Amino acid sequence: MRQSELDVGDVGQVARTGAVPPGRDIDELVAAAHARGLRHAEGTVADYIPILAQVDPELFGLCVVDVDGGVHEVGDTGARFSIQSISKAFVYALLCDALGHEEVFDVVGVNNTGAAFNSVVAIELNEGHPGNPMVNAGAIATTALMPSATAEEKWEAVRNGLSRFAGRGLEVDDDVYRSESLTNQRNRAIAQLLESYGRIRSDPAEAVDVYTRQCSLLVDAHDLAVMGATLADGGVNPVTGERVVSADVCRDTLAVLAASGLYERSGEWLFEIGLPGKSGVAGGLVTVAPGKAGIGAYAPRLDSAGNSVRGQIGTAYLSRALGLNIFASEPH
Ligand code: GLN
pLDDT tens by residue, 143-172: 999 998 899 999 999 999 999 999 999 999
Contact 156, 143 (CB under 8 A): no
Query: Within this chain, do residues 31 and 68 fall inside the same structural domain, yes or no?
Result: yes
Question: Mean pLDDT over residues 190-200, rounded?
Answer: 95
Report the pLDDT averaged over residues 305-317.
97
- The CATH code of the domain that includes 75 is 3.40.710.10
Measure 66 CA to ligand 1 centroid, in angstroms. 28
Segment 290-299 shows an average pLDDT of: 97
Residues 208 and 226 in one domain: no
pLDDT of 15 reads: 67
List helix spans (H) across 170-265.
Answer: 174-183, 185-196, 204-215, 221-232, 247-260
Residue of 45, 281, 298, 304 to mutate, ligand 1, most atoms within 8 A of C-beta: 281
What digits encode the pLDDT tens for the residues 234-261?
Answer: 999 999 999 999 999 999 999 999 999 9
CB proximity list for 190: less than 8 A, separation 6 or greater: 118, 120, 123, 136, 137, 140
Q: For the residues 125-147, what does the mean pLDDT come to?
A: 95
Among 193, 214, 235, identify where a domain stops: 214
Question: What is the mean predicted confidence (pLDDT) over 276-300?
Answer: 98
Residue 200 sits at φ, ψ, to 5 deg, of -125, 125
**d(Cα 308, Cα 286) in Å, to the nearest integer?**
10
User: Are residue 110 and residue 179 in the same domain, yes or no?
Assistant: yes
- The verdict on 254 and 290 lying in the same domain is yes
CA of 247 to the centre of ligand 1 (A): 27
What is the crossing angle of helices 221-232 and 86-99, to 10°? 30
Specify if 330 maps to a domain: no
Binding residues for substrate: 85, 136, 180, 187, 211, 263, 281
308: nearest Cα among 62, 94, 113: 62
Q: Determine the structural domain holding residue 34 and report its residue range.
A: 3-84+217-321
99 in the same domain as 64: no
Mapped onto helix, strand or coil, the DSSP state of residue 319 is helix
Of 251, 302, 257, the C-alpha closest to 280 is 302
Helix, coil or strand: residue 157: helix
- If asked whether residues 202 and 316 sit together in one domain, one would say no
Amino acid at 2: R
Residue of 92, 211, 298, 317 marked active site: 211
Catalytic site residue from 281, 286, 288, 309:
281
Q: Looking at 64, 71, 74, 88, which residue is catalytic? A: 88
Q: What is the mean pLDDT of residues 265-278?
A: 96
In this predicted model, what pLDDT tens digit does every residue of 50-73 receive, in sequence order?
999 999 999 999 999 999 999 999
Q: Is 163 a catalytic residue?
A: no
Residue 327 counted as domain residue: no
What are 2-45's pLDDT values in tens digits? 888 888 877 776 666 677 777 678 999 999 999 999 999 999 99
Q: How is residue 272 annotated by DSSP?
A: H
Instruction: State residue 46's pLDDT score.
Output: 96
Tell me what pLDDT residue 14 has: 67
User: What is the C-alpha to C-alpha distance for residues 247 and 249, in angstroms, rounded to an integer?
Assistant: 5
pLDDT at residue number 16: 67
Active site residue 48: no
Q: Residue 10: its pLDDT value, please?
A: 72
- Do the domain assignments include residue 329? no
Report the number of distinct structural domains present in the chain. Answer: 2
Contacts of 164 (CB under 8 A, 6+ apart): 237, 240, 242, 244
For the segment 73-85, what is each residue's pLDDT rounded down to a tens digit?
999 999 999 999 9
